[in-house]
Chains A and B, each alone.
Chain A
Amino acid sequence: MLNQLTISELTKKLAQREVSARETMQSCLDQIAKVDGKIHAFISHDAADALQQADAADKELTAGVKKPLLGVPIAIKDVIAVKDQPLNCGSKILGKFISPYNATVIEKLKDAGAIIFGRLNMDEFAMGSSTENSAFGVTRNPWDTTRIPGGSSGGSAAAVSADECIASLGTDTGGSIRQPAALCGCVGMKPTYGRVSRYGLVAFASSLDQVGPFTKDVRDSALMLSAISGHDVKDSTSIPHPVPNYAAALNGNVKGLKLGLAKEYMVGGLDPQVSAALQAAVKQYEKLGAEIVEISLPHTEYAVATYYIVATAEASANLARFDGIRYCDRVPGNDPIELYSKTRGHGFGPEVKRRIILGTYVLSSGYYDAYYLRAQKVRTLIRRDFLNAFEKVDAILTPTSPTAAFKIGEKTGDPLQMYLSDIFTISCNLAGICGISFQGGFTENPKLPIGLQLLGKPFGEETMLKLAHAYEQSTAWHKEKPTI
């Protein structure tokens, strides 16, 4: 079935006119019709528009136009702006908001020939690790629909795993790409901060957010990264660094590369099956010729606390614009203050409110130094830990998440426990480095995907992808499909 193909398989077939973009798009739409009632990865999608884009792609393909993603259906997390499409960020506050502009990543994907379709479900404003905090309902894990898909990009992960699209875009502020990729059994990458433009990504925490791809294998991840990376004059935090052909680095040769294992990551609470998968990967990497080196990231235990100060503080300001004046569903008030409070009190869900309050508090008069400034300083220490480690190793290997997908509703009562499950992914955003989650096996009874994570140097995506790809190709995990 066409919807199950990877980008590299599909683009070959499309270029040879073996298949058409329309057929491919249709097979994705058919799959959505068939399974999305159970998965609910999509908030909405415009089938007619998608098919029209597919027809346009077919015309170009027939004319022999060469573009890296020509005719490839790619679905988008509901936090990335697509012109004339709804933009809700998984929240009800935005109402019938229609984006007046395209995010830079969307422009880039369109330039590469991709078909941009659908709005993928997510935790409201990307705040969450389970996609249970969406105003549009819960997304379910394709491997077990009683379980969460991870989050916040749960819809993006589930849609790729359930073959409802060929690839998707998500965003990662503290693990929101890597964790759902791990729990849904696909590949998810968070690029180095500044590698991919944030223009058009509705900010959660500006200094931590990055857009990244969800794909069915590592090669596709590399292809997507080449398409969306690069300097953007509209984003002052975008880094003017050349964009390599990432897929060209995937030669399977990892001999002599040094892979770090952080002793601080061997924590309690790690599921034995996840631990076993990590140990198996270590052996496999050694077999492939990589060298395993023990490293230390001494400030790991402070990462979650640091993250929840920095991220919520930034979010409290970023989300202030949702006020019912220029857009948003307005709840009337007698004066602007009342209008704001009612609109926001009504429009935001509990997790968003909780984080806005926390973020407002840590910045408020008298507390800035104790919380925000201190967190920024600890962030320096965390980044330093990684830069020191990368003096000794080429990448760091960790589990992505301490456990496989948990049951819907299991952790909603205790936000702190939910936050602590982000322990392996959060530091990556604080340090501004890159990370990728790829398939590392399955748990038994129930059979659920286990994700492995590689953390790479700043702008070290090539080496990181090469290592992930070598492991993936030496195992068969990525070929398994969920039965829905």
Chain B
Amino acid sequence: MEYEAIIGLETHVQLKTKSKIWCGCANEFGAPPNTNVCPVCLGMPGVLPVANEEALRLTILTGLLLNSTIPRYAKFDRKNYFYPDMPKNYQVTQFDKPSTVGGFVEFEFNGGTSRINLTRAHLEEDVGKNFHFDRNSGVDFNRAGVPLLEIISEPEITSSDMAYEYLNALKDILIYGGVSDCDMEKGMVRCDVNVSIRPKGQKELGKKIEIKNMNSFSGVRNALNYEIPRQIEVLTKGGQHHQETRRWDDVGGITETMRSKEMAHDYRYFPEPDLMPFEPTDAWLAEIKTRVVELPLAKKQRFIKDYQLPPADAQAFVWDVPLGSYFESVAKKSKNPKAVANWVINNLRAKLAENGGSLADLKFKPEHLVELIELVDGKKISSAAAQQVFAEMFTSGEAPALIVEKKGLAQVSDTGAIEKFCDEVIAANPKPSADFKAGNAGALNFLKGQVMKLSKGKANPGVVGEILEKKLKS
């Protein structure tokens, strides 16, 4: 029998705020233990939470970026369970009325575009961090109360690679939207993986097995690469699965049982009485909408379509956002956006890296680049000359036409002058000339190069080729 894996991911992402979700302690990684803490985030007796508006905004913004519905009513609930890293022994989260519902993530996969639907993304508080020693553990609450977004996918992912690509695409979107820095090293993204196996063609899902607390995307892929065959093997051998939570052992490369369903939690959710509900107003939503950016994949596809860019160039602009914006501002004015992309990626980016400058203080105007490309396309200058013009334009900011004029770089297309150069070269190189006549087409290039040299690069290479051929064939 053939089996298939069905995977759902719960991704926890720390939001990029200055302060924590309920108090004014800094949302900052790497401070000495228990120094970004106050009575509120330590869960001292008598304290109360007050919601950080930016955390709510970033949640809604994420919803907008992920094509979610933004309900006009959301609330917070208490999720009750005891754990040393949880100051109040309940986590404030959103249970039945989350701030975003539905939506999807699209990403390139297997040469096409895949779409994974989302159940929801809800806002909650992060917990502290445990350190384990020989005999005991220690808790640092600096992370407790950092705003955390839990993004839950539908069980629609079918392979470890797909899970990996989904997570990368999600991360790209969140970084792009300014929602989170998604720094894996700093634990800003953590993942719970739900995976089940069913015979291909069967409708209902198999028994769900959860792998908790993954902190790298490659870890997720590796864990699934282990877990999926393991589950299939159990079924093939006539065994059964029961619902359980497993842990991924990164060193051993295996998953192992953490807790079975009999020990499952009873979270006793109920509405958080210390926080009032949220009913986003039109004005508030409109303000957040102004922060919505074009998603990476959409931008890439648009660049490929609108400017006929090769995918690699489009991708380069997606990742270097300012460079992409600069490209677009020039490309809109040019008849040859592909050439603009070449100049921006191959020349401008290199020059900037070399000189440590920024796009904001470029000496030349976007129109100058457009003009330079027109000079090349109109065969007014050779591409070699164009390189010289660009270098000069980058340093002085002068218009290309002026530089061409000053440096005498205009291309010679006058056939009379070129014929003279050709005659000279043919005379000086009898061997290659004879080779060409004997049928060695490659010899023409050598001769062409000699003519160009003689003309100091100003001869129009196309015309040179034509004349040489005519003379040698006659």
Contacts and interface: CB of A to CB of B under 8 A. Distances in A.
A206 B274 contact: yes
Given A101-B39, A325-B139, A363-B270, A320 B80 contact: yes
Interface string A70-102: 000000000111000001010000100101110
Nearest to A313: B270
Contacts of A199: 46-48
Contacts of B42: 326
Interface in B235-285: 266, 268-270, 273-276
A409 interface: no
A363 B42 CA distance: 25
Interface stretch (B84-92, B153-161, B442-450): B84-92
B73 interface: no
A323 B39 CA distance: 16
B428 interface: no
Contacts of B439: none
Interface in B60-110: 78, 80, 82-84, 87-90
Given A233-B50, A236-B274, A323-B89, A100 B39 contact: yes
Where chain B touches its partner, the secondary structure class is loop
B402 interface: no
A340 interface: yes
Contacts of B273: 205-207, 237, 314
A236 B276 contact: yes
B78 A317 contact: yes
Given A236-B276, A340-B82, A101 B270 contact: no
B48 A323 contact: no
B391 interface: no
B44 interface: yes
Interface stretch (A31-39, A140-148, A364-372, A449-457): A364-372
A365 B46 CA distance: 28
Given A236-B48, A336-B84, A317 B43 contact: no
Nearest to A97: B45
A321 B46 contact: no
B49 interface: yes
B44 A364 contact: no
A326 B87 contact: yes
A360 interface: yes
A346 to B, nearest CB: 16
A45 B82 CA distance: 35
Nearest to A80: B46
Given A236-B51, A325-B139, A363 B45 contact: no
B270 A372 contact: yes
A405 interface: no
A103 interface: yes
B49 A236 contact: yes
A358 to B, nearest CB: 13
Nearest to B267: A365
Where chain A touches its partner, the secondary structure class is loop
Most buried by B among A206, A234, A321, A365: A321
Interface string A142-177: 000000000000000000000000000000000000
A80 B50 CA distance: 19
Contacts of B46: 79-81, 87, 99, 103, 199-203
A100 B44 CA distance: 9
Nearest to A209: B273
Interface in A319-364: 320-323, 325-327, 336-337, 340, 360, 363-364
Interface string B20-57: 00000000000000000001001111111111000000
Contact of B80 (A236, A317, A337): A317
Contacts of B269: 363, 368
Nearest to B272: A206
Interface string A230-242: 0001111100000
Contacts of A94: 45
Contact of B50 (A236, A316, A325, A340): A236
A236 B141 CA distance: 23
Interface in B103-157: 139, 141
A198 interface: yes
Nearest to B266: A365
Contacts of B48: 198-199, 234-237
B9 to A, nearest CB: 25
Nearest to B82: A340
Interface in B306-361: none
Contacts of A206: 273-274
Contacts of B78: 317
Nearest to A87: B45
Contacts of A100: 39, 44
Contacts of A235: 48, 50
A317 B84 contact: no
Contacts of A203: 46, 274
A202 B90 contact: no
Most buried by B among A201, A202, A320, A322: A320
A368 B79 CA distance: 13
A364 B89 contact: no
Given A314-B273, A320-B88, A101 B44 contact: yes
B65 to A, nearest CB: 27
A363 B83 contact: no
Contacts of A317: 78, 80, 88-90, 268, 270
A81 B45 contact: yes
A364 B268 contact: yes
Interface string A302-323: 0000000000011011001111
Contacts of B51: 236
Nearest to A203: B46
Contact of A89 (B45, B47, B141, B268): B45
Nearest to B47: A199
Contacts of B50: 233-236
Contacts of B39: 100-101
Interface string A177-213: 0000000000000000000001111110111000000
Contacts of A363: 80, 268-270
Contacts of B276: 236-237
A419 B273 CA distance: 23
A202 B139 CA distance: 24
B90 A325 contact: no
Contacts of B88: 317, 320-321
Nearest to B271: A376
A205 B270 CA distance: 13
A320 B44 contact: no
Most buried by B among A200, A205, A368: A200
B87 A237 contact: no
Interface of A: 79-81, 87, 89, 94, 97, 99-101, 103, 198-203, 205-207, 233-237, 313-314, 316-317, 320-323, 325-327, 336-337, 340, 360, 363-365, 368, 372
Given A317-B268, A321-B88, A340-B82, 15 more contacts: A80-B46, A99-B45, A100-B44, A103-B46, A202-B46, A236-B48, A236-B49, A237-B48, A313-B270, A320-B80, A323-B82, A326-B42, A360-B268, A365-B266, A365-B268
Interface of B: 39, 42-51, 78, 80, 82-84, 87-90, 139, 141, 266, 268-270, 273-276
8 contacts: A81-B46, A87-B46, A235-B50, A237-B276, A316-B268, A317-B78, A317-B88, A320-B89
Sorted nearest first, the 4 A-B pairs with minimum C-beta distance are A320-B89, A363-B268, A206-B273, A207-B273
